[in-house]
Structures are given as structure tokens and as C-alpha cells.
Structure 1
Amino acid sequence: MRIALALLALLMWSPQQVLAQAAADMPEKFERVTAGFDYDLRTVEIPMRDGVKLHTVIVLPRGGRQLPMLLTRTPYDAEGMTGHLRSSHLVDALEGYDNFPELFADGRYIRVVQDIRGKYGSEGAYIVNRPLRGPLNDSATDHATDTWDTVDWLSRHVPESNGKVGILGISYDGFTSLMALVKPHPALKAVAAMNPMVDNWKGDDWFHNGAFRQINLPYIYSQVGTRANSVTWWDDTPDQYTLFLRGGSAGALASARGMEDIGFYRKLLAHPAYDAFWQQQAVDRVLAQQPLEVPTMLVHSLWDQEDIYGAMAVYRALARDEAERARLWLVMGPWNHGGEQGEGSALGAIRLGSDTSRTFVHDMLRPFLDHFLQDQAPALSLAHVNAFRTGENRWESMSELPRACASGCPVQPRRLYLQPGMRAGFTPGATGQAGYTADPAKPVPYLPLPILTSEKDSAWGHWLVTDQREMGARPDVLSFVTEPLTQPLRITGMPQVELTVSTSAQDGDFVVKLIDVYPDAVPGQPEMGGYQLMVAADILRARYRQDPARPVPMTPGQLTPLKFSLPQAHHAFLPGHRLMVQVQSSWFPLYDRNPQRWVENIFQAKPEDYLPAQITVQLGGPQASALILPVEGVPAPLPADR
């Protein structure tokens, strides 16, 4: 009876009464209690010179006064990067991407994170790696002006600050950090650019020497498709190798996902060569045209799977004279992309002997920032170049990065020749050839199969240190190896590839890897016996061999010289180890397949364009194939020389 009466009473209520009852559980405005917090969070919309407002989160240590500010400008969600009040403790609130919570543990910095134009909470249009005002940008704003306007506002509107601003960031945020160096604001006192996107055609995110990094299509889909990354790339198989092989060309797979609606994808499709579109926005070229006015730290990861080109290119562009080197610092660490902000005692199977990331943050990054940003600035005794020697697992300090030259330099070029019998050595050896069939239907994977797409199972973060034995066992991968070393061989610099090849086709890709082959038995690490560790590796799309801006076909059957650089190395090959050079014609699905039949735009290759090709590598003689190593010192003859 009571239940029936209650139901009758509900039926007699008007709709307005029912809505009022439902809404009564939620207050019109809910205020969080933050009395126990050790920080305050302030959200502001900072106006730019064209009226666009950029969403900015300011995290202030509670009670702090005269504190410098550390700014990051990001497309990756400012509120998500600042914890959004998920913890009452500042250090915990700043856990995560780009934040280095150790910098803020003692409450001596104000943290500022800003959404760049068109992403998440900021107004305006999002343009990927927005170029500077000029031929590629006819608007009144760019990242340099937005940074200037932001720094100007912060220096005048944050009363808890000392008016000094530093900027730091990783990857895309490293790119925005570098753009702050273009006509910088006087209040900008320090820049730390880590793993920055710099030249996305030569060797960072989108291409490497003309080969398209199609593995980034899912990133482009979600990052550029919507303001808040609200659309997600979908897979119909958990194996990337199968997914991309089944998809055909990179263009066909992108079209199947509807990516023609994404403006940035259309730009990639329109600019497969290194034309003015890429050249004019290359950050190293931009920065080379003006003086370095702000103390800058560049951070390079020796096994960066995403932006392995940028930091070193900027260092080479800026280390022009003694005056500029006095404002420039370089750190090279044994990390993957962004690995300097995590636990740094190992990468994949490679043990590093210490927490290298902690050393970086506490002994390099923090002293650098403190010196230039704190009012009571401590002295800075940090060397201008700090490089981790992989192989020997130790940090080395120097005043500048040594350059190779034929004589009188601490680093000298030495040719490691590819020799008949699948040998390698520091003398040319006999004349001969080695060959393989490059079949686009069976491309060489960049990881052992299956290549899983889920983040939980993905080996993406450490694939550059993956054991190469499985790849070398394939008939379409040539492996040239030296005798065991009797003394250490140390290299510092970018190994240079001089490969002479012929093909039965009109185009092709060529991957060259420099590998450290471990002894069969490694004391204390049995799992490392015979391990094949990539030290430096990269790819060249042969149509760009003469001029990256103007592709030309190869002539079938004709010997063709190919020259390109491998990424920076700072490595010691130890006694008992051997050097190996691997040569192959695909690296899939990291890079799109070259059909090998000549087509004007490989994005638009048809299934019938993908043809096998017979590849021949020239050994010995006047056109000998070799890898030129930047060797420190002049070591005694190696066993392979005799």
C-alpha cells in the first residue's frame, strides 16, 4: 500500500517539479576545497596581438614569492599536463609528459603550460609546426610572436614571479621552445629544447631522406583531426605489419581512413620532395640566420625513435664561433624519445650502469636553469657538452663537440669497407659483389613479428636497441662483419654511408645499419651473448640521391653511388666485440614501401607498381662500398686490417 501511494504521488507531480527534484542534487556552482594543497592553480586566457586567446595553466607553489617561471607551449593539453588538481601535492600534480616534477619539488619555480593555437582550450587555427611569418605563413602571428606575447604577459601579470621566464619542452614542445629564440622577449632568460622536431623531411617525424614514416599516420589522424584529439585511429588487426601491408600504399591507407579531410595530410601528399615547403621551415636553417641571444640547452637522445635529427642539426647550426658556443649547451644521453624524464638505468635489454636521467636532471638541467633564472643565481660549472659514451657507460664532458678531419683533429674519418665473403674491414679487400632480391610483397620488418599496435604490448619505445639477429637471418638483408676487436674503438659523430649499388628497377630504398655485435658470452648477462645492437642507422630513398628537391629515376643495371649520413653516435666498441654493417631495402611498416617501379608520387602508387628488384652491392675496387666512421684518435691496426 505504501509503495502504491508513493507511485501515485509521483504521478501527480508536474514535470517542473520532477526536474526541480532531479536538479537539486547538483549545485549551481561547486567549489573544490584546496586548503591542504601545497600549490595554487590559476587558469588564464592570454591575449595574443591578433586578439586570439591562448588557454594557459599557471601552477604556483603556495606562499612563493620572487619565483622564476618555467613555460611549456604544447599541443598536448595543458590541463592534462598539470594534473588538473588530481593531487594536493605539487610534485604529484606535475607527474607526466614534459613536466620533470623534480624541478618543482622544492617550490622554487612556477610552472606554466599553455595550449598552442587551435588545440584543446586555445582559440585560433591549428597548423602543424606553424612556420614563421613569411612565404609559408601570410598571417600576423607564428610561434615566435605567440611566445613573445605570452612571456610579456607573464612577466607583467604574475605577481609571485621575479619576472624571469625559462621555456622547456620535448618533441613538439621542443620545437616550440626553439621558436622562442626567434627575436626573443627580454624576459626570456633560458631555453631547454629536448628531442625537438627540427627538419621533418631530412630526419625527424614525417620523412627520413625522402622515405615517408607512415607509422605516424595514426598520430596525424588523432592529433590533427580534431582540436581535442577526440577521434581515434582504428585498426582491424593487432599487427601493424599486416595492417600496413594490407593497406597498400600510405596514400591508399590514409584515404581508407578519410584523411583527405585533414589539411596537414594533404600537405604531405603535395610535398614528398624536399622543396621550399620543407626547406623554409627547417628550424636549424631558421636559427642559423640570426644570433643566439638566449642561453640554450639542447638535449639529444642517442636512440631517439622519433626525432633523432633535430637537436644535433640545431647544435651544428648554432655552434658557429666561440661567442655563440658560450651561450650553448649540449647533452647527449642514452635514451629514447623523451627518455631523459623517466628512469634511465636501462633501455630495452641494454643496461646503462646508472640512472642516467637522474644525472641529467640533477647535475645538468637543474643547475642550468637555476643559474639563469633564480635571483640568487648559483655559479654554473657545467661543461658545454656532456655526452654519454654508450658501450663504456660513462658521461664525458668537453668544451665543444669535436669535428672529424683528415689530420690534426681528435676525430678522424676511417673507412670500414664491405668486403667479399660478407666480411668488413679497414682495407678495401678484393673486388666483388653481393646481392639480394628486394620484394615489396615481403618487406623487412623494423621489429620482430608480430608488431603489436597496443601501447601495453608495443616495443616502439626501445625498437632502436632491438637485437638485429632476426633481421640479419633474412636473405634480403646483407650483413658484413669484422673480426673481433683487440682494443676499444671509439666513435664520435655521424657515420657517412658510401654505397655503390645497381638495381634492376628504377627506384629503391636503402637502409644501412652500424651494429655492435657482442661476444658469444657476456659475463653476468648471458642473455646478451651474440646480441646485435644498432649504434646508428638510417634510410635513403634513392630517387633523392642527387638532389632531395628533384627526384630522378635510377638506371637499371647501372652502378649508382649513394651517399648519406647516419645519426650521431658516441659509442665504444669494446675488445671482443665486432662491427657489423647491414644493408637492406625496406624497413616496414616504419617507412612506406618503395614500389621500385618509377611513379611520380609514391603516396599514390597502385598495387601493380610494386615489383621485386635485384639489388647488387659493389665491393672493393674504385667504387668500393664503405661506411666512413668518425674514429677518436688513431688506433693501432685492427685485426680486420691485417
Structure 2
Amino acid sequence: MIGKHVWFKGWMLLALMNVGVCQQAVRAEEKKPAPPPPYVLEGNVMVSMRDGVKLATDIYRPIQHDGAPVQEKLPVILTRTPYNKTGAKKQADYFTRHGYVFIAQDCRGRYASEGVWHWMTDDGGDGVDAAAWIGKQPWSDGKIGMFGTSYVGGTQHAMALAGAKELVTVIPVDAVSNCGVQSMRNAGAFELRFWNWIMLNAGKGSRAVQDEATAAMLKEMADNRFHYLANLPLRKGTTPLKFAPEYEDWLIGAMSHGANDDYWKQNNILEKASSYKDMPVYLVGGWYDSWAGNTTANFGVLSKALKSDVYLIMGPWIHGAQAAFSHGQVDYGRDAAIPDELAWRREWYDHWLKGKDNSVGKAAPFASKVRIFVMGTGDGSKTEKGMLLHGGEWRNEKEWPLARQQSTAFYFGEGGVLACEEPTQDQGSTTFTFDPKNPVPTIGGNISSGNDILLQGAWDQRGGPHVWNWPNPIPLSARNDVVIFETEPLAQNTEVTGEIEVKLWASSSAVDTDFTAKLVDVYPGSKDWPGGFDLKITEGIIRARFRDSLKAEKLMKPGTPYEFTIRLYPTSNVFKKGHRIRVEVSSSNFPRFDVNPNTGEPLNEHRRTVTAENTVLHSKVHPSRIVLPIIPR
């Protein structure tokens, strides 16, 4: 026993000595200085615009072995952002290591830049001026590629539409465009994520926050957004937003202006594709991104207007999440992600800015002009993280929409039937009550800037504690103001890939109202999902006063049937054998869209609401239907 005791003491002593050595190694590692950055930073260079306003610009130049800037003239990667240029250090580190000058610039009126901020309207001219300045610098070879997502993707479109001479290529990811069509004013309705964006960003990086007391007030406003959300519409001078007047002015104007006219002309690519600079463009979007419909629409017009290569990739992603393979409650498999968010961009820049013969045009994600992720080929099991394994796979295509699609009408019928057979009955309708004070809650979808008020991406259409305005575990289909049409269980896998429209015949007791449509992949009950899973695929809306044209308002005559076209976001999904295809029709989707008061008053000026009796018609004379782009097996 004594020998064992001595052995044990010796072993413990040795272990403690090893621990001590390890701790010393860790402390030594902690003391080891971080490697120096691969660049020399010249920060807050104030670059003059044509009107004398100066924009704060950070210039990252690659260094030589001696630490001095590389003297060779190099191509430039430029990002223009309203979100603080100092947040671009990761990108600067990467691109300078690979032989680029990286430049980050605060947009006008944001953070360190002078001037007054306006939504995108200055970014074309400012971008042209910034590019001209860059092109004259001794470290620039005169070639610029642009980098960025969302608003920062929109600044790329703005520069391209303004024809910046030095601009060689762009990669607009989930980018702001066509704001009066779909995604800001969406068929006349207003996307409240932009109300949320203003409520948050008026107090971040604006001129107003230079005063501490004003900054505190704007933060308090942002912290109480749920209370302000319950008291819409927003009126000038009635909230703390008045202390950031350019933000208040823009938001009130945007919420008041429904028509897609000159008010929304900035980044209107659909009507101004001929103004877009002829250069290689790589459009990146996601089926659950807030700009998905504009991304595919932009590809349609730019691929015809430009002689240069235009590429499109659409993944199963939410906004800005190309490196992820799951969101909401759904997993698409690891292959859905592009894991290195910078390397694939560099491949594109290397090809067009440096002339390298690489994977562009040869291998993923550049093997073809169109690359899409077809969702829904998974087994529907529950993953270790409790997510639905919806799965999917990548596919290269030659065009968008796909030439081989078969546009197939699925008609609404009595008893909630959804079928390919046209209605034969002369009469058929379903009436529901739409109360603006009790709107249908939003659960997931094509969201950005949702920050707390909206869930992004793919979710079971069932409430719970994760849905602030539908906290109980009740499916939305149980609501009386949600009208359901669904197929029988499918006899075979059915792929739906492309642009989707609902042709809805409807009437209302009101002079104005909204109609919404949602496409749902209905999973049957299983061991993992005993109650099934109602997976939101895509959705859309139409404000009745814009039924004939997005450019002009026209109120309805109560009780009169009209045909409405509801444009859903594009998608690619396999509805598997045994699943059902469902369409949910209602008149609200809150807080995704502002709620229509049904009164016909000017937009954002109502002080009252009325309950509407809305009727969906589904008869031989009024054949409501969803038109699905079916891909042959």
C-alpha cells in the first residue's frame, strides 16, 4: 500500500507540474503580440464631393516586408456604407493580403462623413466622385470593384446606374433596388422593416447623436419600438424622431408615397437597365431574402441590357447569410452554405480586375450564368438541434426563369380545395372578416432589418413564445381571417422553381383593403413532427387601390369583384410525395407590412379603421388561382 501511495503522490506532483507548464505556456501565448496587420491605414481622409461636402474615407494599402506601403499601382475594392466604415477591417485585412487596396467610405451624413443623409439619392453622384478621386491616386491602377450587402449593395447599383468610369465590376448581394415595386413599397403596401431601420439608425451614426441628450432620447425611442409600432401611423413632429429630421422626413415620405413613380426612381433598375454600366455583374440573393424578387428581376433585365457577363446565384438563405445553411426552424444541409464569404468574391475580382484565368465560368459558384439551390429534397427528420431537415441541392441553369418550366394553374375551390381542374360551378365564394385591430401575425419570411419585431426565414406557421404577437402554440390556419386552399397529398414529388403569381378574384365591403397570399409546404405528421410542419415558402401582398397600376391609385366600389395579381417572391422547392401544396389568403401580415385601415384615406394619414368583409371568389366566372412554375421530372 505504501508503494501505491508514493506512486500516487508522485503522479499528482507530475500532473501539477504539467499543469503549471501548460499555464505558463498559455500566459506566454497571451503575452505574445498579435501579428501586425498586412496594411497601412490612412484613416478619415476627407474626400470632397462635387458640392463641397467631404466624405470620411479609410484607405488600406498592402505593405511590403519592411512595413512600407506597396509602391505598385493596384486595383481597388471599394465599399460605401451607412453602417460605419470602421467595421470593414476584416475585409480590409483579407483583400490587402491578396494584393488589393481596400477602401471603406461612410455615406453622406453617416458617422464621420459630412452632409445630410438621404436614402440612396446621393449615392450615385457621390460614388462617381469617390471613384474619380480614387482613379487619380498614385497607388491606384484605375480599376475598382465594389463590395457589400443590402444598403451597401445598393450603393453598388447606384454607382453602376450613374456610370462611374473607374468601376469595372460589382457583386451586389441582397441589394437595395426597385424600391417602389417590391420590398419597400410592396405592391402599394409599406414594409415595416424600414420603419424599424429608421427607428434604430436615426440614433446610430446620424448627425443628431453628436448631442448626448438627443442620442439618449433616440435610444429610448428605439428601445420602446413596440409601443410606437402600436401607434402608427407616424406623424411629423409627434415623436422623438423629430430630433433627427432627415430620418423623420424620409420615413414619413416613404410611408405616405405608395405609387411607383419618380419618388422611387433611385436604383430603379427595372425601368433604367439601359443606364446601367456595361460591365460584369454578379447578382447574389436568397430565397428568403427581403430583396429576392428584385434580385431575380434585375437579372432578367440586366442580362438583356448588358453585353458583359451577368451572373445570378440564389441560395436558401436569409439576408446576408450566404455562409449559413440553416435559419428559422429549418436546415438545408451543409452544402447549402458558401463557407468562405470572402474567397468566392476574391475569385471574381481576380478574374475581372487582375485578368486571372481561374474558376469564373468553369467551376462553382461560377460554373454557369445561373446557379440555384433547389430546396426540399431532405428527409424531413428532426436534426440534433431540433430543426426540420428540409434539405436541397445545387443546380446549374442557363437562364431565369427556366425555359422548361410549365406554368400550371391550381384553382381555388369549394371546401378549401386546390386543384388543377377549373371550377365548373357558376357560384362560389368565401367571405372573411378583416379587422385592422387584429391583424394576422408574421411568422418568418423574406425579412431584413427585423431586429426584434420580425422573425427571418423559414418557420412553421404556428405561434409560440418566439412570436411576440402570437405567443400561443396555435397555427395561423386556425384563424377565421385566414382562408386555406390546399391540394390532396401529392402522388409524386413536384418541383416549383421560378416566379409565382396568385390571380385572385375578390371583393370587399371597403373602398380599400389588402389581400395577401402565402405558399406553404405542408408536411404530414411524422414521428419527429407529430403535428406536421407548415413550412412557409413564399408570400406576397397587393393594396387594392394599386390593383390596376403601381403608378396610380384607384379606390374600389364596395361589393364589386376585381381581379388582383399578387406577386409572390421567387422560389425553388420540391413539394415531396405525401405533402400538400397550400395557399393561405388573408388581408394582413403584420408587422411585415403596414396594416390597411380599410378607410381609403391618404396613406399614413388615417385616424380611424373600419372592419371589412372581404370575399374570395372561386367560380367558373371568377376563377381564383395560383400559377406555379412546375419543372418536369
Q: TM-score range by the shorter chain?
A: 0.7 to 0.9
| SS at 1:289 equivalent | helix
Aligned to 2:303: 319
| SS at 2:542 equivalent | strand
Answer whether contact 2:177 2:294 (CA < 8 A) is retained: yes
Aligned to 1:28: none
Aligned to 2:238: 255
Is residue 275 from structure 1 mapped to residue 261 from structure 2 by the alignment? yes
Give the alignment partner of residue 414 of structure 1, picking from 405, 408, 411: 408
Give the alignment partner of residue 441 of structure 2, picking from 442, 445, 449: 445
TM superposition shift of 1:461: 5.0
Aligned to 2:149: 170
C-alpha distance in 2 between matches for 1:291 and 1:220:
28
Aligned to 2:557: 555
Aligned to 2:573: 571
Is residue 631 from structure 1 mapped to residue 622 from structure 2 by the alignment? no
C-alpha distance in 2 between matches for 1:204 and 1:376:
37
TM superposition shift of 1:336: 0.9
Letter of the structure 2 residue corresponding to residue 319 of structure 1: S
Letter of the structure 2 residue corresponding to residue 550 of structure 1: A
Percent of residue pairs identical: 27
Give the alignment partner of residue 427 of structure 1, picking from 400, 414, 421: 421
Letter of the structure 1 residue corresponding to residue 233 of structure 2: A
User: TM-score, normalised on structure 1?
Assistant: 0.78
C-alpha distance in 1 between matches for 2:237 and 2:441:
20
After superposition, the Cα gap between the structure-2 partners of 1:299 and 1:358, relative to the gap in structure 1 and judged at 3 Å, is same
Give the alignment partner of residue 349 of structure 1, picking from 310, 329, 345: 329
| SS at 1:149 equivalent | helix
Aligned to 2:180: 201
Is residue 484 from structure 1 mapped to residue 489 from structure 2 by the alignment? yes
| SS at 1:170 equivalent | coil
Is residue 151 from structure 1 mapped to residue 158 from structure 2 by the alignment? no
Answer whether contact 2:498 2:571 (CA < 8 A) is retained: yes
TM superposition shift of 1:183: 5.2
Counterpart mapping for 1:505-520 below 5 A: 505-520=510-525
Is residue 386 from structure 1 mapped to residue 371 from structure 2 by the alignment? yes
Aligned to 1:49: 50
After superposition, the Cα gap between the structure-2 partners of 1:320 and 1:41, relative to the gap in structure 1 and judged at 3 Å, is same
| SS at 1:617 equivalent | strand
After superposition, the Cα gap between the structure-2 partners of 1:126 and 1:105, relative to the gap in structure 1 and judged at 3 Å, is closer
TM superposition shift of 1:291: 5.8
String of CA shifts for 1:521-577, please: whole Å, max 9, x gaps. 27xxx2486111122101111111012232222222222211131111122211121
C-alpha distance in 2 between matches for 1:497 and 1:517:
18
Counterpart mapping for 1:1-40 below 5 A: 36-40=36-40
Answer whether contact 1:223 1:229 (CA < 8 A) is retained: no
TM superposition shift of 1:630: 1.2
| SS at 2:604 equivalent | helix
Aligned to 1:611: 610
Letter of the structure 2 residue corresponding to residue 338 of structure 1: G
C-alpha distance in 2 between matches for 1:334 and 1:478:
27
String of CA shifts for 1:592-620, please: whole Å, max 9, x gaps. 22111222x1311113xx11121211113
C-alpha distance in 2 between matches for 1:282 and 1:180:
9
Q: Which runs of 5+ in 1 are unaligned?
A: 1-32, 83-92, 131-141, 404-408, 636-642
C-alpha distance in 1 between matches for 2:162 and 2:225:
46
Aligned to 1:329: 311
C-alpha distance in 2 between matches for 1:578 and 1:111:
50
| SS at 2:278 equivalent | coil
RMSD (Å) for aligned C-alpha atoms = 3.0
C-alpha distance in 2 between matches for 1:301 and 1:454:
16
Answer whether contact 1:420 1:430 (CA < 8 A) is retained: no
C-alpha distance in 2 between matches for 1:252 and 1:480:
39
TM superposition shift of 1:164: 2.5
C-alpha distance in 2 between matches for 1:329 and 1:146:
26
After superposition, the Cα gap between the structure-2 partners of 1:236 and 1:353, relative to the gap in structure 1 and judged at 3 Å, is closer
C-alpha distance in 2 between matches for 1:35 and 1:104:
17
C-alpha distance in 1 between matches for 2:223 and 2:115:
37
| SS at 2:292 equivalent | coil
Aligned to 1:365: 345
After superposition, the Cα gap between the structure-2 partners of 1:482 and 1:35, relative to the gap in structure 1 and judged at 3 Å, is closer
C-alpha distance in 1 between matches for 2:540 and 2:396:
27
String of CA shifts for 1:87-122, please: whole Å, max 9, x gaps. xxxxxx41xxxx497x53853333211112221112
Q: Which runs of 5+ in 2 are unaligned?
A: 1-32, 65-69, 210-214, 378-391, 463-473
Aligned to 1:589: 591
Aligned to 2:545: 543
Aligned to 2:117: 126
TM superposition shift of 1:218: 3.5
After superposition, the Cα gap between the structure-2 partners of 1:605 and 1:617, relative to the gap in structure 1 and judged at 3 Å, is same
After superposition, the Cα gap between the structure-2 partners of 1:511 and 1:191, relative to the gap in structure 1 and judged at 3 Å, is same
Answer whether contact 1:73 1:173 (CA < 8 A) is retained: yes
Give the alignment partner of residue 77 of structure 1, picking from 69, 81, 84: 84
The range that moved more, 331-340 or 427-436, is: 427-436
Counterpart mapping for 1:229-244 below 5 A: 230=209, 231=215, 232=218, 234=220, 240=226, 244=229
What is the total number of aligned residue pairs between the two structures?
548
Aligned to 2:456: 462
